[in-house]
């Protein structure tokens, strides 16, 4: 007993940690070998314990601290080196920025919110739906059985992601949540996930001509949403802070959801002055609704394709 008490916890931790890592790496090696043989291997998603441990990291606190830090105005002489390091690290293309002079940006938060030259992103006229932002296409396709794929093979529940269907009256008695959303005969439900990397332009625009009728804000975690984590944490987008805008376009139901992440904890919607994201206090699993349809505005907020819609902010 005495010997056990004398043992230092550190070597035990190192031993168990490296044992676990070795086991995990061996499993990944086996998956790679199987893939080389052309055998489709389902992605290794995190188990309950790993998700709980990951969610216990105070990402909201870190995010707000990161945001505070990036609101501190930099001395003029420090701006160029700091922003040049950020540009080099994340591959930012300053030629497209509306203001190329780095001294113009007082702090990294302002630099992160930089706008682009209008001619830098021509809006495609010949297609009815466009990309709302710069980024990487993580996944896209038809929604099946109320499950949406965040990346290939890793799904999340449509109803958990959007929340209960209360933003408009439903006349008929649908067989599933997905059928609730599809309002026209012969239509299907489609989805597209765009991941914005740290160096990307972080404003987003209206992807089509539509009327935004409702906003639902889900406070939540701010786990990283980079593709590697999206492959590892199932239901990742249902854990994270997000703002769901829903309404109608020419073919029926349309929604755009902005999902926050650790370094980009705040979401702004330009026409929604009441929206406050990344607040210190929130009740787990809660959400708050706002309808843009009122007695004197039966239409909601009309958005034209390509119109400025909102932005992600640091912290």
List contacts with another protein (CB under 8 A). Answer: 121-124, 126-141, 143, 148, 151-152, 158, 161-162, 181-184, 186-196, 201-205, 207-208, 225, 230, 237, 249, 251-261, 264, 267, 306, 312
CA atoms of 144 and 105, how far apart (whole Å): 45
Cβ atoms of 305 and 130 closer than 8 Å: yes
Smallest gap from Cβ 311 to another protein, in A, equals 10
When the beta carbons of 74 and 278 are compared against another protein, the nearer one is: 278
When the beta carbons of 74 and 210 are compared against another protein, the nearer one is: 210
Residue pointed to by tokens 């499950």: 147
Smallest gap from Cβ 239 to another protein, in A, equals 12
Smallest gap from Cβ 306 to another protein, in A, equals 6
Tokens of 307: 């119109």
CA atoms of 31 and 41, how far apart (whole Å): 6
Smallest gap from Cβ 124 to another protein, in A, equals 5
With vertex at residue 206, the alpha carbon angle to CA 140 and CA 285, rounded to the nearest 5 degrees, is 65
When the beta carbons of 87 and 182 are compared against another protein, the nearer one is: 182
Q: Identify the bridge partners of residue 268 per DSSP, sorted by sequence position.
A: 311
CA atoms of 182 and 92, how far apart (whole Å): 39
CA atoms of 121 and 100, how far apart (whole Å): 16
Smallest gap from Cβ 174 to another protein, in A, equals 13
β pairing state of 308-313 and 203-205: antiparallel
Smallest gap from Cβ 51 to another protein, in A, equals 18
When the beta carbons of 8 and 95 are compared against another protein, the nearer one is: 95
Backbone angles phi, psi at 209, to 5 degrees: -80, 115
When the beta carbons of 103 and 166 are compared against another protein, the nearer one is: 166
Q: Identify the bridge partners of residue 155 per DSSP, sorted by sequence position.
A: 149
When the beta carbons of 74 and 92 are compared against another protein, the nearer one is: 92
CA atoms of 123 and 6, how far apart (whole Å): 69
């Amino acid at each position: 007993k005495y010997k056990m008490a004398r043992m230092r916890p550190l070597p035990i931790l190192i031993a168990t940690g490296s044992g676990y890592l070795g086991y995990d790496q061996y499993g990944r090696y086996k998956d790679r070998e199987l893939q080389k043989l052309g055998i489709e291997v389902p992605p290794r998603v995190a188990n309950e314990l790993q998700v709980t441990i990951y969610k216990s990291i105070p990402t909201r606190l870190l995010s707000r601290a990161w945001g505070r830090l990036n609101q501190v105005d930099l001395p003029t002489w420090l701006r160029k080196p700091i922003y040049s390091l950020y540009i080099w690290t994340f591959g930012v293309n300053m030629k497209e920025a509306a203001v190329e002079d780095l001294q113009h940006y007082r702090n990294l938060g302002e630099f992160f919110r930089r706008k682009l030259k209008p001619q830098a992103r021509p809006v495609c006229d010949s297609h009815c739906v466009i990309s709302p932002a710069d980024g990487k296409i993580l996944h896209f396709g038809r929604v099946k059985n109320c499950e949406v794929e965040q990346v290939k093979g890793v799904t999340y529940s449509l109803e958990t992601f959007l929340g209960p269907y209360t933003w408009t009256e439903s006349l008929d008695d649908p067989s599933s949540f997905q059928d609730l959303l599809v309002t026209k005969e012969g239509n299907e439900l489609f989805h597209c996930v765009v991941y914005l990397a740290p160096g990307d332009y972080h404003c987003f625009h209206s992807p089509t001509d539509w009327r935004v009728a409702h906003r639902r804000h889900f406070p939540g975690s701010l786990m990283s949403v980079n593709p590697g984590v999206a492959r590892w944490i199932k239901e990742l987008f249902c854990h994270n802070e997000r703002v769901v805008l829903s309404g109608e376009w020419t073919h029926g139901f349309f929604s755009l959801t902005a999902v926050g992440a650790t370094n980009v904890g705040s979401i702004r919607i330009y026409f929604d002055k009441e929206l406050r994201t990344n607040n210190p206090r929130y009740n787990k699993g809660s959400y708050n609704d706002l309808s843009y349809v009122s007695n004197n505005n039966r239409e909601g907020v009309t958005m034209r394709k390509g119109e400025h819609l909102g932005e992600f902010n640091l912290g």
